Structure 1
Amino acid sequence: MESTDGHIQTMSQSFHDCCVWKGCEETRHWKIPCGDEHKYLRSQDVLQRTGSNCNCFHGLVDRVSAREPKVNQSHITLKDIKRKNDYENYLCCLLLPGATQRAALAIRAFNVELAQVRETVSDKQRGILRMQFWKDSIDHIYKGSTPKTPVATELAGAIHHFKLTRKWLTRIIEARAHNLSDQGYRNMEEVEAYAENSVSSITYLLLECLGIKNVHADHAASHIGKTQGLVTLLRSTPYHASRSRVYLPLDLIVKHKISQEKIIRGRDDQAVKDVMYDVACTAHKHLATARSLTEDVPKEASLVFLNTVVCEWYLKALQNCDFNVFDSRLQQRNSLLPLHLWLQKRRKTY
């Protein structure tokens, strides 16, 4: 199997078998309330192969249904998400079964829409208006109105099919809205709180899609979400620094007596490395805590915890680079990631 980007090498047919839309004949249509009528989205209208050069990756098609008026098709293509925005989580979604995979793709696409707001608007007020649009869209979905955008349409299908908890969706929007400014975090607790609200909430939704209601699974999801949030903070530091932004906790910057200017310039300074080390240690601690709950967590939950593979890989790579987040080796895509994710799924662990 090869990706169009040339980053994925030939792999076994078994990985392909895990990625296809199958085993859910009873859910081939999602019913979305629309006043006194109902509209149906056919699975073939939503999932298709991304191209002849990619034998197992499926994306959301450029159209949801010919019956949906005025659909902005450019926002729904998960091929773009795979290549540019959320490639690793996209791979994790492909290893989920049947209708859960489709719902996960919708939830991830929704998250990408929110994450892109800060980078695409010219001022904070416009970003707030965009977030309000999504709040209103969620309100309309739960009231049974027909969504007007492709991502919202698919999200509506997931919400009604799996009876997803509204609180988690609202919490993601509120966390993203609160994070629209360029102001950094005051301390590690603020970073963890943001990760809990924006990342862990997604994991709670995915657990609901699998029908898992378990306090230990929720506990593990909370720590894994914080791990992923902290790893994302580390990985995004070079990108933000190139735009004169620093989101690392202020208390760590003060503790190690460095200026934000050093971080913006990408200095290979030991004090800067010490800040990254502290963040990485906190991320590793949360990952270890989540894994300590393995015996009490249902095996099925490991499917939504596959992103621990990504987090562990990055933390080890960062350690090998002496905690220099600006090292060019950390910017390279892990070409073996699909294989590692597949093996993790087979082991039914995280």
Structure 2
Amino acid sequence: MKSNFDHCAALVRETDRDRYLATLFAPEARREGLFALYAFNGEIARVRDVAREPMPGEIRLQWWREVLEGKRDGEAAAHPVAAALMATVKRHKLSQETLIALIDARTFDLYDDPFPTLDDLDNYAVLTWSALLSLAAQILGAANEASGILLRHAGIALAIDHLLLSLPRHASRHQLYVPLEVLQRHGAKSDELFAGHDSEQLKAALAELRRHARRQLHAAMMEAGQVPVQLMPALLPLALVGPQLARMDRRGYEPFRPEPLSRLRRQWLLWRAARDPKRIFAV
């Protein structure tokens, strides 16, 4: 069993370094569960990249549903991420309903249908990014009503930051995460986005998304005073959102050539926020 968790830790270190580093600030007894959760999240978040077509992707997501429902026990035992996840579900009494809802929400990633409204994007973010934070809070023993409100806002901010950085990859395969109502509000067109046309209208639409992300950061900060300090390792990646959005605000920002924060700066921001948790919500 230990080797399964070691596999998860190595996978997270390779594919989700920010969460890997953040998890190192968690109590040692909680790290294995976090690594298993984040490795599972990586598996379902990259289904579109691996499957390429909707039907194989649907089959992969259905396999994970059946693992959680106890219908694939033999196969799950031989799969290091699935085995570690199921052990974590049992050890920390994770909500299987939340995990299955997270899988269901990821079905959206398999298709090219757009979000009609900003509320639709928010709902997707809550079912995926916020849900992941909520599950991490359960592992850390830090779940309560106040943290639930904070995690909702934090998940939306994290999702928007990720989608803005992933815009070139999504556009190249005609996948649209910028809500249609936001594009229309600024006169931007999805066809231009898919063609990689860096118009002023598109920049205005993306600027609105950044403002929305900042509002979510501020709303999360307003709840932070009632949140258990044990939750901090799950929230640390949020400390990267404000600085990344600020970089996108600079003159000359090119949406199809986003500049992620360097690995060294990301690591420094995480370390600084761990020492002073107020910096997690910097906008």
Q: TM-score, normalised by structure 1?
A: 0.74
What is residue 91 of structure 2 aligned with on the other side? 161
Give the drift of 1:141: 8.1
Question: Which residue of the partner structure matches residue 339 of structure 1?
Answer: 268
Match in the other structure for 1:290: 220
Deviations 1:223-259 (A, max 9, x none): 0001111111111111112334332111111122222
Match for 2:110 among 180, 191, 196?
A: 180
Q: Please name the residue that 2:188 is paired with.
A: 258
Alignment pair present for 1:281 and 2:211: yes
1:322–1:89 Cα change, 3 Å: farther
Give the share of equivalent positions with the same residue, in percent.
24
Q: Rate the CA distance shift 1:243–1:180 in 2: closer, same or farther, 3 A.
A: closer
AA in 2 matched with 1:210: L
Would the alpha carbon gap of residues 260 and 155 (structure 1) be closer, same or farther in structure 2, given more than 3 Å must change? same
Give yes or no for contact 2:58–2:107 (8 Å, CA) kept in 1. yes
Q: Which residue in 2 is equivalent to 1:22?
A: none
What letter corresponds to residue 213 of structure 1 in structure 2? A
**Offset at residue 145 of structure 1 (A):** 9.5
> Which amino acid in the other structure matches residue 240 of structure 2?
V
Pick one of 24, 27, 30 that aligns with 1:97. Answer: 27
| Unaligned stretches of 5+ residues in structure 2 | none
Counterpart residue identity of residue 39, structure 2: A
After superposition, what is the alpha-carbon deviation per residue over 1:93-122, rounded to whole angstroms, capped at 9, x for unaligned? Answer: 222221211111111110111011112214
Q: What is the aligned partner in structure 2 of residue 197 from structure 1?
A: 127
CA distance in 2, matches of 1:164, 1:158: 7
What is residue 240 of structure 1 aligned with on the other side?
Answer: 170
Contact 2:92 2:138 in 1 (8 A): yes
1:68-217 paired onto structure 2 within 5 Å: 76=8, 78-83=9-14, 85-140=15-70, 147-217=77-147
2:148: which partner in 1? 218
Q: Does the Cα contact within 8 Å between 2:114 and 2:178 map onto a contact in 1? A: yes
Aligned residue pairs, count = 279
Distance 1:174 1:208, change over 3 A: same
- 1:275 CA drift (Å): 0.6
Quick one: distance in 2 between partners of 1:157 and 1:185? 35
Contact 1:192-1:230 within 8 A present in 2 as well: no
Query: Which amino acid in the other structure matches residue 82 of structure 1?
Result: R
* Residue 169 of structure 1, CA deviation: 0.7
Q: In the alignment, what sits opposite 2:277?
A: 348
Where relative contact order (Cα < 8 A, 6+ residues apart) is larger, the structure is: 2
Q: Secondary structure at the match of 1:245?
A: coil
CA separation of 1:106 and 1:117: change in aligned 2, threshold 3 A: same
Counterpart AA for 1:86: D
Mark the CA change 1:249 to 1:294 in structure 2 (over 3 Å): closer, same or farther: same
- Considering only CA atoms, is the larger Rg found in Structure 1 or Structure 2? 1
TM-score by length of 2: 0.90
Q: Please report how far the alpha carbon of residue 296 of structure 1 lies from its aligned counterpart in structure 2 after TM superposition.
A: 1.6
Paired with 1:143 and 1:212, the residues of 2 have a C-alpha distance of 29
Amino acid at match of 2:43: E
| SS state at 1:247 partner | coil
The SS at the match of 1:185 is: coil
The offset of 1:344, in angstroms, is 1.1
Question: Would you tell me which structure has more helix in proportion to its own residues?
Answer: 2
Cα distance in 1 for residues equivalent to 2:138 and 2:244: 28
Work out the CA distance in 2 between the residues paired with 1:264 and 1:321: 23
The letter of the residue matching 1:239 is R
Q: Is the 8 A contact 1:230 1:279 kept in 2?
A: yes
Please report how far the alpha carbon of residue 321 of structure 1 lies from its aligned counterpart in structure 2 after TM superposition.
4.5
Counterpart of 2:168 in structure 1: which amino acid? Answer: P
CA displacement at 1:143 relative to structure 2: 8.6
Q: CA deviation at 1:147?
A: 2.9
TM-fit CA distance, 1:210: 1.4
Q: Distance in 1 between matches of 2:39 and 2:71?
A: 16
Q: Would you say the 8 A contact 2:158–2:241 is kept in 1?
A: yes
